[in-house]
Chains A and B, each alone.
Chain A
Amino acid sequence: MNNRVKTLTETALLISGVNPKKCMKCGKCSGTCPSYDKMEYHPHQFVSMVEKGQIEKLMNSASIYYCLSCMACVERCPRGVEPGKLVEAVRLMKIRQQDANHKNGNDIARIADENVPQQLLMAAMRKYRK
């Protein structure tokens, strides 16, 4: 792992508090996820990709916005991995990135994909309010 990858991975683990090594690759999170079909990377892949340091791929994927934060995967994972918290962490990393959150709150409605669940739009708008 080069330094950038290392820092990104550490940040994701720090924000989420998740230890991806606990995952036994059973796929229960993905069997549970209501947004599975919308996500390019599925919950179990999130865990695996974070473990392998592929954070940038995840940050640049729309998958992080399709997660509903329903936490069903967190609830049901037999190993206590909490994949939903990882998705949330990567989403936060994207938002916190300098120059990546330049969109105006007023633009959101115009550019939003009509397939994005409303719950997510609400969550996003709240984040922009401050």
Chain B
Amino acid sequence: MQKIGVFVCWCGSNIAGTVDVEAVAEALKSVPGVVYSVSYQYMCSAAGQKLITDAINEYKLDGIVVASCSPRMHENTFRKTAEAAGLNPYMVEIANIREQCSWIHKDKEEGTKKAIVLAKAAVAKLKNDKPLKAGTSQVTKRALVIGGGIAGIQTALDVADAGYEVDIVEQRPTIGGRMAQLDKTFPTLDCSACILTPKMVEASQNEKINIISYAKVEKVSGFVGSFKATIRKKARFVDETKCTGCSLCMQKCPSKKGKDEFNMNMNNRPAIYIPFAQAIPNVAVIDPEQCIKLKTGKCGLCEKVCAAGAINYKMEDELIEREYGAIVVATGFKPIDPSPLNEYGYAENADVVTSLELERLMNAAGPTKGTLLRPSDGKHPHEIVFIQCVGSRCDENTERGKPYCSKICCMYTAKHAMLIRDKYPDTNVHVFYIDVRTPGKNFDEFYRRAVEQYGVDYIKGMVGKVAKEGDKLMVRGSDLINNQQVEIAADLVVLATAIEPDPSARSIGTMLTASMDTNDFFTEAHAKLRPVESPTAGIFLSGVAQGPKDVPETVAQASAAASKVIGLLAKDHLVTNPCVAESNELMCNGCSQCEKVCPYGAITYIEKEVRGPGVREVRRIAQVNPAVCQGCGACTVACPSGAMDLKGFSNKQIMAEVDQICL
């Protein structure tokens, strides 16, 4: 007969308010096997833990049940307490009488009854517990950062600074992300490139950082500490080791109809191009859709002019396989396409632009060389209307856009308005807004400056219609404060479009089994207490991939993610969870059902001689890799022969709990 101790926690009034904890402790005393049962105010406190230690020693307990909060909170605490007292830490069971009982019941009598049942079920399970021993696994001391925007760059710099190797995989030909496309940045109005490019250069010069640009992560297997990734480096048809970035090929290339993605497709670029002057790596790339040589076999001009001999039309995609201890998701965002919101006339009118397009129209390296000209006729706009919240803050059941606030647009609209009024005082600027949301250090002051010093006309209300009339855009909206409908004849309309995760985010999430919300932003392990970790061990979150944020917030989060990565890589090995699946070779018939359901690829099959009562033959049987298995239990349910079982959560244990509750 086992000797079991039961410890019922009050959790102050959290549990004791709706559960008669003393009655629970009393009731458990009569359960066979229980030799000691007690309640206490705060079981997790030092005094509470001492109570447990003393009881283990005094009564020679060989298993304990703690009836308290969710095992997510304190299972670890009590396992350590038990271990320190000489008990196997897996001979501890938690009965969750807080989250699953006291917090959801009002009636004390009912709550008490349920708490007793839950505690008894935990005792029933404990009776079938076996001591388990945790193993260890190796940590590969290298991190993978997916996405080379400011988030990915900052995380990589910080991880490298701690002495670990980092690979940045960037899908575009250059790192830099959206911030490289911005003109000036709020709230200080410093030039975006001037503060970003030193970081890009630093990343490229850091010997611990390896930038793999124009590439995608294709496959990831493994688990925390030992991930294995397959990276497809797309053929750029230019040898990165030879190209000097002289850009002679760009000037000579006769195919000039490619759309310049960096300038939001507002001008053309050659088939061979370097996205922008400060690109990292500063290496040309050939767009195979536009290159005459690759399409027809004729031309080959760039090869002739390239003094470095870097052009290679036969280049093929390259597959890179590497191992990593940690993976950081920094895949960022893109602005939504506002065309479906047809009242704004974005698709029909060249002079209705998005804010990111405006950034390019104001930038010295942009299509207008930094002079603000309207796209339709290249004239100076004198009347400009900004519209905020375009496609943000919409009801989920409408087709109008995203349910969330995009967070950055109030500030960047104030920035745009201010910069335009500063540079072109003869231009009137109107901003239609619902609310101006500017929490943040020096942010509201910034917005007030736009109004008070720069005379930007803020109109509280939304725009109902933008219609072209002659060479003007008639913007009709409401002015709620003046209680009137207003119409403005504008030369340029700027839409503060909502932002959404990069379209590749969903596939990355699936690949990493990292959870996402319904908007495809990555979910953090705990909204408040673990904001830069994914619930999947070893996966970390950085930047807008996790939710809308501006550059200062992105950088702060990126460094936080880096510190988590460093904490992981600094370990020589990780303690693995011993609660993993195991197949009974006598019962397994090698049907492969379990392999199909395992989300971690932990199951393989081997031919093995099986010996048992009346059997002696070679059979195909399932084998679980305990280092890869996460103990999710999917295989135990899928197995038609009942051969798969989960240590610490065996079928027998679960049935014992169910029987205790139902019989």
Quick one: which of B229-281 are within 8 Å of A by CB?
none
Q: Which of B397, B400, B483, B485 contacts A31 (CB 8 A)?
A: B485
State which of B148-156, B461-469, B596-604, B611-619 sits at the interface with chain A.
B461-469
Tell whether, in the assembled complex, residue B463 and residue A22 are in contact, meaning their CB atoms are under 8 Å apart: no
Nearest-Cβ distance from residue A66 to partner chain B, whole angstroms: 13
CA distance A31 to B389 in the complex (A): 15
Question: Is B556 an interface position by the 8 A CB rule?
Answer: no
What chain A residues lie within 8 Å of B434 (beta carbons)? 24-27
Nearest-Cβ distance from residue B480 to partner chain A, whole angstroms: 5
Question: Is A28 an interface position by the 8 A CB rule?
Answer: yes
Enumerate 12 A-B pairs (CB-CB under 8 Å) in ascending A order: A25-B434, A26-B461, A28-B463, A30-B485, A31-B462, A31-B463, A31-B464, A31-B477, A32-B465, A33-B464, A78-B395, A80-B395
Nearest-Cβ distance from residue A90 to partner chain B, whole angstroms: 20
Tell whether, in the assembled complex, residue A28 and residue B395 are in contact, meaning their CB atoms are under 8 Å apart: no
CA distance A103 to B465 in the complex (A): 38
Interface residue range, chain A: 20 to 34
Question: Is A42 an interface position by the 8 A CB rule?
Answer: yes
Chain A residue with minimal CB distance to B397?
A80
The proximity string for A residues 28-40 relative to B, scoring 1 for CB distances below 8 Å and 0 otherwise, is 1111110011000
Quick one: which of B385-421 are within 8 Å of A by CB?
389, 393-395, 397-398, 400-401
Question: Is A79 an interface position by the 8 A CB rule?
Answer: yes
Nearest-Cβ distance from residue B457 to partner chain A, whole angstroms: 16
Chain A residue with minimal CB distance to B390?
A78
Tell whether, in the assembled complex, residue A72 and residue B394 are in contact, meaning their CB atoms are under 8 Å apart: no
Chain B residue with minimal CB distance to A45?
B483
Interface centre among B398, B432, B476, B479 (most CB of A within 10 A): B398
CA distance A76 to B401 in the complex (A): 11
Question: Is A44 an interface position by the 8 A CB rule?
Answer: yes
Q: Which of A25, A37, A79 contacts B485 (CB 8 A)?
A: A37
Q: Which of B432, B463, B465, B478 contacts A42 (CB 8 A)?
A: B478
Question: Is B343 an interface position by the 8 A CB rule?
Answer: yes
Tell whether, in the assembled complex, residue B393 and residue A78 are in contact, meaning their CB atoms are under 8 Å apart: yes
Contacts A27-B478, A31-B465, A42-B483 aside, 16 further interface pairs with beta carbons under 8 A come to A22-B395, A24-B434, A25-B434, A28-B462, A29-B464, A30-B464, A30-B485, A31-B464, A32-B464, A36-B478, A76-B343, A78-B394, A78-B395, A78-B398, A80-B395, A80-B400
CA distance A37 to B484 in the complex (A): 8
Known: A24-B434, A26-B461. A31 touches B394 (CB 8 A): no
Question: Is B460 an interface position by the 8 A CB rule?
Answer: yes
Interface centre among A28, A72, A76, A77 (most CB of B within 10 A): A28
Nearest-Cβ distance from residue A103 to partner chain B, whole angstroms: 31
Tell whether, in the assembled complex, residue B480 and residue A25 are in contact, meaning their CB atoms are under 8 Å apart: yes
Quick one: which of A30-89 are within 8 Å of B by CB?
30-33, 36-37, 42, 44, 72, 76-80
Tell whether, in the assembled complex, residue B465 and residue A27 are in contact, meaning their CB atoms are under 8 Å apart: no
CA distance A27 to B485 in the complex (A): 10
Q: Which of B389, B464, B479 contacts A76 (CB 8 A)?
A: B464
Tell whether, in the assembled complex, residue A31 and residue B395 are in contact, meaning their CB atoms are under 8 Å apart: no
CA distance A52 to B432 in the complex (A): 26
Tell whether, in the assembled complex, residue B343 and residue A26 are in contact, meaning their CB atoms are under 8 Å apart: no
- A interface residues (Cβ-Cβ under 8 A, vs B): 22, 24-33, 36-37, 42, 44, 72, 76-80
Chain B residue with minimal CB distance to A35?
B485
CA distance A72 to B483 in the complex (A): 19
What chain B residues lie within 8 Å of A78 (beta carbons)? 389, 393-395, 398, 400-401, 462
What chain A residues lie within 8 Å of B395 (beta carbons)? 22, 78-80
Known: A31-B485, A33-B485, A44-B480. A24 touches B461 (CB 8 A): no
Tell whether, in the assembled complex, residue A79 and residue B398 are in contact, meaning their CB atoms are under 8 Å apart: yes
What chain B residues lie within 8 Å of A44 (beta carbons)? 478, 480
Chain A residue with minimal CB distance to B401?
A78
Tell whether, in the assembled complex, residue B462 and residue A26 are in contact, meaning their CB atoms are under 8 Å apart: yes
Interface centre among B393, B400, B401 (most CB of A within 10 A): B400
Tell whether, in the assembled complex, residue A72 and residue B393 are in contact, meaning their CB atoms are under 8 Å apart: no
CA distance A36 to B480 in the complex (A): 12
Interface centre among A26, A36, A76 (most CB of B within 10 A): A26
Known: A24-B393, A76-B343. A30 touches B478 (CB 8 A): yes
CA distance A24 to B480 in the complex (A): 13
Nearest-Cβ distance from residue A41 to partner chain B, whole angstroms: 10
Nearest-Cβ distance from residue A104 to partner chain B, whole angstroms: 36
Known: A32-B465, A33-B485. A80 touches B478 (CB 8 A): no
Q: Which of A22, A27, A32, A77 contacts B460 (CB 8 A)?
A: A27
Tell whether, in the assembled complex, residue A26 and residue B394 are in contact, meaning their CB atoms are under 8 Å apart: no
The proximity string for B residues 140-182 relative to A, scoring 1 for CB distances below 8 Å and 0 otherwise, is 0000000000000000000000000000000000000000000
Nearest-Cβ distance from residue B336 to partner chain A, whole angstroms: 13
Chain A residue with minimal CB distance to B479?
A27
Tell whether, in the assembled complex, residue A27 and residue B398 are in contact, meaning their CB atoms are under 8 Å apart: no
Q: Which of A25, A27, A30, A32 contacts B343 (CB 8 A)?
A: A32
Tell whether, in the assembled complex, residue A31 and residue B398 are in contact, meaning their CB atoms are under 8 Å apart: no
What chain A residues lie within 8 Å of B460 (beta carbons)? 27
Chain B residue with minimal CB distance to A82?
B398
Tell whether, in the assembled complex, residue A27 and residue B462 are in contact, meaning their CB atoms are under 8 Å apart: yes
Nearest-Cβ distance from residue A126 to partner chain B, whole angstroms: 28
Chain B residue with minimal CB distance to A36?
B485
Nearest-Cβ distance from residue B356 to partner chain A, whole angstroms: 21
Nearest-Cβ distance from residue A20 to partner chain B, whole angstroms: 13
Interface centre among B401, B461, B480, B485 (most CB of A within 10 A): B485
Known: A36-B485, A37-B485, A44-B478. A28 touches B464 (CB 8 A): yes
What chain B residues lie within 8 Å of A26 (beta carbons)? 389, 434, 461-462
Nearest-Cβ distance from residue B398 to partner chain A, whole angstroms: 4
CA distance A12 to B34 in the complex (A): 64
What chain B residues lie within 8 Å of A80 (beta carbons)? 395, 397-398, 400
Tell whether, in the assembled complex, residue A27 and residue B394 are in contact, meaning their CB atoms are under 8 Å apart: no
CA distance A25 to B434 in the complex (A): 8
Known: A26-B461, A37-B485, A79-B395. A31 touches B401 (CB 8 A): no
What chain A residues lie within 8 Å of B401 (beta carbons)? 78
What chain A residues lie within 8 Å of B393 (beta carbons)? 24, 78
